Amino acid sequence: MPFIQEGAALLPDLVALRRRLHQTPEIGLELPGTQAAVLEALDGLGLEITLGRRTTSVVAVLRGARPGPTVLLRGDMDALPVVEQSGLDYASKNGAMHACGHDLHTAGLVGAARLLAAHRDELAGNVLFMFQPGEEGCNGASIMIEEGLLEATGDRPVAAYAIHVGPGPRGVFSTRPGPVLAGSNELHVRVIAEAGHGSQPHTAKDPVPALAEIVGALQTLASRRFSVFDPIVLTVTQLEAGEAINVIPESARLGATVRALSQESVDKLAKETALLASGIASAHGCAAEVTFNVLYPVTVNDDAETLRSLAVLREQFGQERVKESPAPAMGSEDFSYVLNEVPGTFLMLGATPPGVDPDTAAFNHSPKVVFDDAVLGDQAAALVQLAFNKLAIRPVG
């Protein structure tokens, strides 16, 4: 059963909800206004609602007409601390911005809930709707799992799906089996030295040259110690040293974001960055404190579930609108925690507005990024089709 037309019929309501959320973005784990908007939009659908205790999450359960397995559908709800420069007439004015499209994810999941509720009698099983705060670095998915998300229906889900918008040809879905997004990690290095006068460096131990050498050596580490077939991205984004221009500081530090596509690379990075920083610091007569924090694991799509998802969406939307991604992307997602527990698929959906070149369009997290909310009907329809295909009651005989 194709749901494209039903999704299109919901489009005006979904666009209105998305733009309401876009004008009033909230950051982190506490999204009271967003939660209230979601609850209002779900009212009357006959769902079992559970609210988060440590976050403003919403877990909604739809029970089909007959018993059966559970399928999880997820939409994240939080925004970013970005001052919007999109020029939209419904742009945010509160200093935050839905610069990663989570307002579309939330509205699209509401649409899926409405469509599936209308087809409840055709379902053998349950649909678990995961409205998640805190995806942007706050580990909201893990908190929801700890609070019992995966046991909300009484049976753990047999499949999980999420759709994320981004720049790309409008309405084109893409994903791949296996690793689809990188794991996210943080590296912090503090070089400890002996302060002194800037005019007499020979009487001090200067952490700045040591730190500068470490920055360059980290790039060599990334390109020479890791296979091109299991790549990493290591980007130094923070450098801090002294405040007075004539004082050699007693310490200097750097911060870096590190992306990897396998746990083996993460383990190797944690070990080798510590050895490298300590060795260089020691050569300068200094010491190094190294901290490697694992934030989000690699997002790994289940092979069989992903091939099935691609086939289901191609049947609904056509071959030209469903592509298999040639390689993983180096962004990160905490849906990875769900996929560590449940076989499933994370998909991308192109949402570049007409008249804008997807290749040069502003990317997610940019203050100028713009997504076309005309994709919301198809986003909802795709989520519904993936769940429905798992749970539909088949005719007997």
In a domain, 397, yes or no: no
What is the model's pLDDT at position 395? Answer: 60
Say yes or no: 131 and 238 in one domain: no
In this structure, are 243 and 320 located in the same domain?
A: no
Rounded CA separation 207/281 (Å) = 8
Q: Three-state DSSP class for 250?
A: coil
Do 354 and 253 reside in the same domain of the chain?
no
Question: What's 358's DSSP letter?
Answer: T
Return the pLDDT at 397: 44
In this structure, is residue 192 part of a structural domain? yes
Q: How far apart are CA 164 and CA 293, in angstroms?
A: 25
Sign of torsion over alpha carbons 18, 19, 22, 23: negative
Domain membership flag for residue 127: yes
Of 296, 330, 357, the position where a domain reaches its end is 296
Residue finishing a domain among 268, 296, 324:
296
Domain that holds residue 42: 4-180+298-391
Q: Domain end: 252, 276, 296, which one?
A: 296
pTM: 0.91
Q: How far apart are CA 179 and CA 193, in angstroms?
A: 41
- Whether residue 188 sits in one domain with residue 307: no
Listed as ranges, residues in the chain with pLDDT below 50 are 397
Written as six digits, the tokens of 3 are 């749901």
Reply yes or no on whether 264 is catalytic.
no
What residues have CB less than 8 Å from 269, skipping those under 6 apart?
185, 187, 232, 234, 258, 260, 292
State CA 246 to chain mean position distance.
44
| Whole-Å CA distances, 93 to 86, 96, 135 | 11, 7, 22
Question: Does residue 126 belong to any structural domain of this protein?
Answer: yes
CA distance linking residue 282 with residue 19, whole number of Å: 55
CB atoms within 10 A of CB 201: 13
159 and 63 fall within a common domain: yes
For residue 57, tell me if it sits in a domain: yes
Residues 54 and 159 in one domain: yes
The two most distant CA atoms of the chain are separated, in Å, by: 91
Q: Do 287 and 309 reside in the same domain of the chain?
A: no
Does residue 90 lie in a domain region? yes
The Cα 259–Cα 267 span in angstroms is 12
Give the contacts of 228 (CB within 8 A, at least 6 positions apart): none
Domain identity same for 243 and 214: yes
Alpha-carbon distances, residue 171 vs 333, 335, 360 (angstroms)? 21, 22, 17
Q: Give the amino acid at 312.
A: V
In this structure, the answer to whether residues 276 and 340 fall within a common structural domain is no
Residue 140's domain is classified under what CATH number? 3.40.630.10
In the set 6, 26, 78, 378, the catalytic residue is 78
On whether both 21 and 110 belong to a single domain, the answer is yes
Q: What angle in degrees, to the nearest 10, is found between the helix axes of 4-23 and 376-391?
A: 130
What is the structure's pLDDT at 393? 82
Q: Based on the domain organization, do 17 and 122 belong to the same domain?
A: yes
Identify the bridge partners of residue 251 per DSSP, sorted by sequence position.
Answer: 192
- CATH for 274: 3.30.70.360
- pLDDT digit string (tens) for 228-256? 899 999 999 999 999 999 999 999 999 99
118 in the same domain as 39:
yes
Evaluate whether residue 396 is within a structural domain: no
Measured in residues, the chain has a length of 397
Residue with tokens 């086939």: 311
Contacts for 242-246: CB closer than 8 Å, 24+ residues apart: 242/208, 245/198, 246/197, 246/198, 246/199
Q: Is 103 annotated as catalytic?
A: no
Number of domains into which the chain is organized: 2
Question: Is 138 part of any domain?
Answer: yes
Q: How far apart are CA 390 and CA 392, in angstroms?
A: 6
Cβ-contact 313, 204 below 8 angstroms: no
C-alpha distance from residue 5 to each of 127, 318, 381 (Å): 21, 14, 8
Candidate list 135, 147, 305, 373, residue with the active-site label: 135
